[in-house]
A and B are shown apart, each in its own frame.
Chain A
Amino acid sequence: MAATEKLVMRGISKSFGNLRALNNLDFTLRRGEIHALMGENGAGKSTLMKILIGIHMADSGEIFLDGEPVVIASPREALARGIAMIHQELYPILDMSVADNLFLGREWKRNAMGPLSMVDRRKTRRETENLLAGFGIGISPDAAMRGLSVAETQLVEIVKAVSQGAEIIIMDEPTSAINEKEADRLFAHVERLKTSGASIIYISHKIDEIFKIAETVTVLRDGNFVASRPTREMTPELLVSQMVGREIDDIYPPPPPDRHIDGAVLEVSGLSDGYRFRNVSFQIRSGEILGMAGLMGSGRTEVAECVFGLTPKTSGETLLRGKPADVRSPRDAVLGGMALVSDDRKQKGLNLAATVGENISIVSLEECSRLGIIDRVRERAGVDEYMKRLAIKAESADTPAASLSGGNQQKTVLAKWLMAGPEVIIFDEPTRGIDVGAKREIYQLIRELAAQGKAILMISSEMGEIIGMSDRVIVMADGELAGTLDRSELTEEAIMTLAANLGPTGKGVR
C-alpha cells in the first residue's frame, strides 16, 4: 500500500433489513487531498460516512488507516483515530462562548479533581485565541455561539476538529445554508487545511463547487461504486450523468412553445413588516414564473411568509385576482388559493409523525369530506393520484413520511399543495438539499404548473435555477426590492449587481 494513501475502505457492504444500502464498495482517500463524494440522495454517501465515523458497522469489508487495518466502533473511537465529521446541521451550545464550545468535554483544568476540577478559563481563552488566529478567523473567543452566523459556526467546528487532531475531516454539504461569499471564505480555509496535511472528504450537491475545490471525485449510485477520478478529467455533464446513470441534456426544461401569460393573479404593493423588509411591490401573472433572487438575509423568505399571512405586516396591500385580499393567517391564504412550499420542509412542510398520505391530504380534507366526516375512499384516491403524478417513491400512502429521502419528502410537500389546487404557488428554495434527478422532476413540474395557468413565485439562491426557470426576476437587497429583470436581461452579473446593491438604483456597498 502506497504511503500516500491515508484511508482505504475496501469491499464495504451494509444492509438495513432487506434494503441493500452499500454493495461491495471501495473508497480510497489520499493524504492531503480534497476528495468529493458525489451521488444522488440514497446513493449511499451518508451510510458510507456513518460507517467511517463508527455510527454504523459494516456488514463486511475492511478499513485501513495509514495502511493499518482498523475497526471503528463509535464516533468517539473515530475521533481518537483522527476522523471527524462536520455535520450538515450543527448543534453548538448556543449560550456558551466560542472558547467553551471549542473545549467542551476536554476542558483545560486547573487541578486534577476529575469532574470537580476547576476550569482554567484563562488558558481556555488563550488556546482558543491561538487556534482562531492560526486559521485567520476574526472571531472573539468570548463571543456567544448564539451570535455567530452559520458560516462562522462551521469554522468554529472545523477549528475544533483540527484541534482534536483530526487528520480526516468529513464535510457534509457545508455550503447548503451559507451564501456564496461565505462559501468562498470556507473554501480558502479548506485549502489551508489541506496544505497542513489533513485529508478532506467533501459531500455536496453543488456541482460547480466540486470543480472549484476538489482534486478527486468519487461517484456512488444506488449503493454501488461508479467511478473515482481526478476532477480535471471530469466535466460537469459527465459527473451528472454518472450520478444519475443517464444523460441529462438540460436540467432546466424549456418553457412550452404555446404558453401564454395572462393577467395578474397576485399583486402585492408597498408591503412592509416594519422590521425585515420595506415597501416591496410585485405582481405575478397567470402562467408566469417570477423568480425572486437576493443574498441570504435579504428578506426574501420573510416577504413570502408575510404574503402568505404567516407573519403580520405593518403596511401594504394584497390583491388576488384583482380583488383586495385581507390575508391575516395562512388559513386566509389557503382559502384564497395560495400555497407555500417552504424552504425548510422538516420544520415547516411535513408532519414527520404522520404517514405520506396523511401529509398529502391535510390541506384538502374538507374537499374529501361531508359534514366534517372524511370520505376515506375519496381521500385515498386523491392521495394515490398525486403520489403517482409526482412519482413519490414510497411503498404506499401508509409509509411514514419520516422514512422518505429528502427528494421524496419534498415531493410529498408538493403533492400536498397540488392536491389543494392553488392558483398561486410560492416555492421557497424548492430544490435545496435534493439530488439532481429529483431536481429535474421538480423543475419539470413547475413548468407544467405554469403551463396550467398557475402564478408562480420561486425564491432561490441558485443562480442557475433562477436564470434557467424564471420568466422574470425580482431581486431583493437589504430588505428592499433592488430591481426587476426580464428574461432577456437575465445574466448572473445583472442579478449579482442588483443583489449586492451595486446597480445604478442601488445605494452602493455598505
Chain B
Amino acid sequence: MKNRVGKYTVRELGIFAAFIALIVALAVVSGGTSISPRNLVLVIKQASINGILSVGMMFVIVSGGIDLSVGSILAVSGVAASMFAHPGEYHLAIPVALAMLVGLALGCANGFLVAFGEIPPFIVTLGMLTMGRGLALILSGGSPIYNISKPFENLAGGFFPSAGFPYRAPILSVYFLAVVAAGAFVLTRTVYGRHVYAVGGNEMSARISGIRVGLVKMSVYAISGALSGLAGLLLASRIVSGNPNSGSGYELDAIAAVTIGGISMSGGAGKWHGAVIGTIFIAVMGNGLDLMGMPSNLQLVIKGAIIIAAVFYDIRAKRKR
C-alpha cells in the first residue's frame, strides 16, 4: 500500500498538515491575535460544544446514516433545561437530567423510525429538525428564557482546575474531552462499537452474522440525541439562557467536522480522531475568518463548499481502491 505512511494514511496526514498550515497562516495574518490566550479560550469553547455533537454524528455516520436534527434537539433540550433552572426553584440535577432525557427521547424517536419504520434517515431527521425547532419555540413561547441560577451558569462557565493554577482550560473542554474519550473507547474497543462499523459497512452481512441491526441503528440515533441534549445543556449554561433559536446550522458543522476528518459518508469506515481534528479545524477556521473580518454569510458559503470537497475527495479515494 503506497497510500500509507506508518500507521496513518496519506489523507490523515494531509488533513493534519492542512490544519497546522491553517493555524500558522491565521497567526501570521492576524498578527498573533489568533493565538492569544483570550482567543484560544473562545475557540476551545466553540469547538467543545460542536465537538460533542460531532462525536454523536460520528456514531450515526459510521453506522451508515445521517442525523440532521442535532441542532434542533440541542435547542429543545436547552430550552427545557432552562425552564427548570431559575434560581431557588429546583435542584441542579433536574435541569441536567431533563436536558439529557429530552435529547435521548428525541434521538430514540429518530432511531426507532429509521430502524423499524425503515424510513430513510435523511427524511426522518429532516422532519425532526423541523419538529424540534417548533417544539423549542412552543416551549419557550418564542423568546429566550432568562433568569438562570448561578449553579446552572457555572456548569459551562468555569475553568479547570478551578483556581490558583497558572494554566487553566475552559471547563467546556473537559466535557468535550470526556465525551471524545468515551466515544472513542466505545467505538474502537467494545463489541458494540464493532457492530456499528459492521452495520455501516454491509448491513446484510452484519444481519447474517447475527448482529441485531435494528437495535444498533436505533442506538446510534439515541447516542446522537443524548449528546445533543448534553450540548444543549452546556450551551444554555454558556449563554445563560434557553434560546429556542440556538444551534441552528450546527448539524452542518458536525457533518463537516466528521467528513473533513475522513469518516466515510457511506458508512463503515473512519477513525475517531478524524472527528476531533475535523471539529477543531472547523472551529479554528470559523474563528480565523471572523478575525479577518469575513462576513458570516460568506463563511456559510465556504463551509458548504468544504463539505462538498471533503465528500468528493472521499468518493474519489474510494474509487481508486
A348 touches B190 (CB 8 A): no
B209 touches A358 (CB 8 A): no
B212 at the interface (CB under 8 A from A): yes
A500 at the interface (CB under 8 A from B): no
A65 at the interface (CB under 8 A from B): no
Determine, out of A194-202, A330-338, A443-451, A501-509, the stretch whose residues face the partner at the interface.
A330-338
A280 at the interface (CB under 8 A from B): no
Cα–Cα, bound, A374→B188 (Å): 9
> Which parts of B185-242 form the interface with A (CB within 8 Å)?
189-192, 194-195, 197-198, 200-202, 204-212
B189 touches A333 (CB 8 A): no
B208 touches A354 (CB 8 A): no
A362 touches B202 (CB 8 A): no
B38 at the interface (CB under 8 A from A): no
A348 touches B204 (CB 8 A): yes
Interface residues on A, range: 20 to 34
Chain B residues near A369 (CB-CB < 8 A): 190-191
A374 touches B269 (CB 8 A): no
A353 touches B269 (CB 8 A): yes
Chain A residues near B51 (CB-CB < 8 A): none
- Could you tell me the distance in whole angstroms from the C-beta of A303 to the nearest C-beta in chain B? 15
B210 touches A330 (CB 8 A): yes
Cα–Cα, bound, A483→B247 (Å): 66
- Chain B minimum-CB-distance residue to A369: B191
B197 touches A358 (CB 8 A): yes
A416 touches B209 (CB 8 A): yes
Cα–Cα, bound, A351→B208 (Å): 11
Interface flags, A396-430, vs B, CB<8A=1, else 0 = 00001011000000000000100000000000000
> Which parts of A346-375 form the interface with B (CB within 8 Å)?
347-354, 358, 361-363, 365-366, 369, 372-374
B107 at the interface (CB under 8 A from A): no
B316 at the interface (CB under 8 A from A): no
- Chain B minimum-CB-distance residue to A375: B189
Cα–Cα, bound, A416→B204 (Å): 15
A362 touches B209 (CB 8 A): yes
B319 at the interface (CB under 8 A from A): no
Chain B residues near A402 (CB-CB < 8 A): 321
- Could you tell me the distance in whole angstroms from the C-beta of B299 to the nearest C-beta in chain A? 33
- Chain A minimum-CB-distance residue to B191: A365
Cα–Cα, bound, A471→B207 (Å): 30
A350 touches B205 (CB 8 A): yes
Of the candidates B202, B212, B264, B269, the one whose C-beta lies within 8 Å of that of A331 is B212
B191 touches A353 (CB 8 A): no
Chain A residues near B204 (CB-CB < 8 A): 347-348
- Could you tell me the distance in whole angstroms from the C-beta of A95 to the nearest C-beta in chain B? 20
Cα–Cα, bound, A92→B201 (Å): 25
A310 at the interface (CB under 8 A from B): yes
B268 touches A366 (CB 8 A): no
Count chain B CB atoms within 10 A of each CB in A330, A347, A350 and give the residue with the most.
A330
Of the candidates A334, A340, A354, the one whose C-beta lies within 8 Å of that of B268 is A354
Interface flags, B263-307, vs A, CB<8A=1, else 0 = 010111100000000000000000000000000000000000000
- Chain A minimum-CB-distance residue to B190: A372
Of the candidates B191, B210, B266, the one whose C-beta lies within 8 Å of that of A335 is B210
B208 touches A330 (CB 8 A): yes
Known: A334-B209, A348-B205. Is A374-B190 also a contact (CB below 8 A)? Answer: yes
Cα–Cα, bound, A347→B205 (Å): 7
A354 touches B198 (CB 8 A): yes
- Could you tell me the distance in whole angstroms from the C-beta of B10 to the nearest C-beta in chain A? 14
A365 touches B210 (CB 8 A): no
A308 at the interface (CB under 8 A from B): yes
Cα–Cα, bound, A310→B209 (Å): 11
Interface flags, A149-189, vs B, CB<8A=1, else 0 = 00000000000000000000000000000000000000000
- Chain B minimum-CB-distance residue to A334: B210
Count chain A CB atoms within 10 A of each CB in B200, B208, B269 and give the residue with the most.
B208
Of the candidates A350, A362, A416, the one whose C-beta lies within 8 Å of that of B194 is A362
Cα–Cα, bound, A402→B195 (Å): 19
- Could you tell me the distance in whole angstroms from the C-beta of B152 to the nearest C-beta in chain A? 34
A353 touches B205 (CB 8 A): no
Chain A residues near B211 (CB-CB < 8 A): 331, 362
A372 touches B192 (CB 8 A): yes
Cα–Cα, bound, A363→B206 (Å): 9
Cα–Cα, bound, A310→B213 (Å): 12
Known: A365-B194, A372-B190, A372-B192. Is A353-B264 also a contact (CB below 8 A)? Answer: yes
B210 touches A351 (CB 8 A): no
A363 touches B210 (CB 8 A): yes
- Could you tell me the distance in whole angstroms from the C-beta of B235 to the nearest C-beta in chain A? 31
Chain B residues near A352 (CB-CB < 8 A): 201-202
Of the candidates B201, B209, B212, the one whose C-beta lies within 8 Å of that of A353 is B201
B202 touches A351 (CB 8 A): yes
Known: A17-B2, A353-B267, A354-B268. Is A342-B208 also a contact (CB below 8 A)? Answer: yes
- Chain A minimum-CB-distance residue to B200: A353
Chain B residues near A353 (CB-CB < 8 A): 197, 200-202, 264, 266-269
- Chain A minimum-CB-distance residue to B188: A374
- Chain B minimum-CB-distance residue to A376: B189
Chain A residues near B1 (CB-CB < 8 A): 17
A333 touches B205 (CB 8 A): no
Chain B residues near A376 (CB-CB < 8 A): 189
Cα–Cα, bound, A416→B198 (Å): 13
Cα–Cα, bound, A17→B212 (Å): 40
Cα–Cα, bound, A163→B205 (Å): 40
Count chain B CB atoms within 10 A of each CB in A353, A361, A363, A369 and give the residue with the most.
A353
Chain A residues near B195 (CB-CB < 8 A): 362, 365
- Could you tell me the distance in whole angstroms from the C-beta of B40 to the nearest C-beta in chain A? 35
Cα–Cα, bound, A47→B189 (Å): 39
Interface flags, B158-190, vs A, CB<8A=1, else 0 = 000000000000000000000000000000011
Chain A residues near B208 (CB-CB < 8 A): 308, 310, 330, 340, 342, 348-349
A351 touches B201 (CB 8 A): yes
- Could you tell me the distance in whole angstroms from the C-beta of B82 to the nearest C-beta in chain A? 35
Chain A residues near B201 (CB-CB < 8 A): 351-354
- Could you tell me the distance in whole angstroms from the C-beta of B319 to the nearest C-beta in chain A? 12
- Could you tell me the distance in whole angstroms from the C-beta of B132 to the nearest C-beta in chain A? 31
Chain A residues near B205 (CB-CB < 8 A): 347-351
Chain B residues proximal to chain A, CB less than 8 Å: 1-2, 189-192, 194-195, 197-198, 200-202, 204-212, 264, 266-269, 321
Query: Could you show 6 A-B contacts with beta carbons less than 8 Å apart?
Result: A17-B1, A334-B209, A349-B205, A353-B201, A353-B266, A358-B194
A sample of 9 more A-B contacts (CB under 8 A), given A353-B201, A369-B190, is A17-B1, A310-B207, A330-B209, A349-B208, A350-B205, A353-B264, A362-B198, A365-B194, A373-B190
Q: Which are the 7 A-B pairs with shortest beta-carbon distances? A: A334-B210, A353-B268, A351-B201, A353-B201, A331-B210, A351-B202, A365-B191
